[in-house]
């Protein structure tokens, strides 16, 4: 629960609900409706309750990551395609993370983070937590196939039809 919502709750009902015993039913209902409205706005991505936009608010370890300080290299996720033998010595390593986090407006509100590679490129990743990602992986595979179909069709190729695809990489904490 965000600090803003907690503050509004404490104003309406008192710290630890101390105002509830002396509150009329009408006042309780009015406060309840108002707070519920704010909470619903938050769930829909609108209103004054804004999710954190800084990486350190989600994961201090990622925000503080320094490859020179840590003894091992981290590879940029998604470089193994399963079609050939991996050659980790040629894989791009993590140089750091962008401090900004972009919260997407879709239903599950995934976060987009940017990983900076040691090849001086930025790699964008959508991060989703607590979900089964198999369906997401299948949809992305379908998009890849559709892009191949678009590339083979002269009209689609001329119009530069292309679906933006993402790799789905399940990771555990």
Q: How far is CA 126 from the centre of its chain?
A: 5
Q: Do 70 and 123 belong together in one domain?
A: yes
Q: Do 123 and 136 belong together in one domain?
A: no
Is residue 143 domain-resident? yes
Q: Do 98 and 138 belong together in one domain?
A: no
Is residue 76 domain-resident? yes
Contact (CB, 8 A) for 41 and 49? yes
Is residue 79 domain-resident? yes
Q: Do 67 and 38 belong together in one domain?
A: no
Q: Do 122 and 138 belong together in one domain?
A: no
- How much is the pLDDT for 2? 62
Residues 85-96 have a mean pLDDT of 92
| pTM recorded for the entire structure | 0.58
Does residue 111 sit in helix, strand or coil?
strand
- How much is the pLDDT for 172? 61
In which domain, by residue range, is 73 found?
55-127
Residue 115 phi, psi dihedral angles, 5° rounding = -100, 130
State how many domains the chain has.
3
Instruction: Name the more confident of 100 and 52.
Output: 100
Q: How far apart are CA 111 and CA 108, in angstroms?
A: 9
Q: Do 123 and 140 belong together in one domain?
A: no
Is residue 48 domain-resident? no
- Going by C-alpha positions, the residue among 105, 68, 82 that lies closest to residue 167 is 82
- How much is the pLDDT for 149? 96
Q: Compute the mean pLDDT over every residue in the chain, rounded to the nearest whole number.
A: 84
Instruction: Name the more confident of 168 and 54.
Output: 54
Residues 75-92 have a mean pLDDT of 88
Q: Do 148 and 120 belong together in one domain?
A: no
């Amino acid at each position: 629960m965000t600090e803003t919502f907690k503050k509004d709750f404490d104003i309406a009902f008192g710290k630890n609900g101390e105002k509830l015993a002396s509150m009329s039913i009408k006042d309780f209902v009015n406060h309840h409706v108002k707070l519920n409205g704010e909470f619903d706005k938050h769930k829909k991505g609108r209103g004054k309750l804004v999710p954190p936009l800084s990486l350190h608010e989600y994961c201090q370890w990622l925000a503080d990551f320094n490859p020179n300080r840590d003894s091992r290299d981290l590879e940029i996720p998604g470089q193994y395609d399963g079609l050939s033998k991996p050659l980790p010595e040629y894989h791009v390593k993590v140089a750091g993370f962008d401090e900004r986090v972009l919260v997407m407006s879709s239903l599950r509100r995934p976060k987009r983070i940017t990983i900076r590679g040691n090849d001086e490129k930025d790699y964008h990743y959508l991060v989703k937590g607590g979900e089964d990602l198999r369906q997401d992986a299948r949809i992305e595979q379908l998009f890849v196939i559709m892009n191949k179909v678009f590339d083979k069709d002269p009209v689609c190729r001329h119009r530069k039809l292309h679906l933006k695809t993402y790799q789905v990489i399940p990771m555990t904490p």
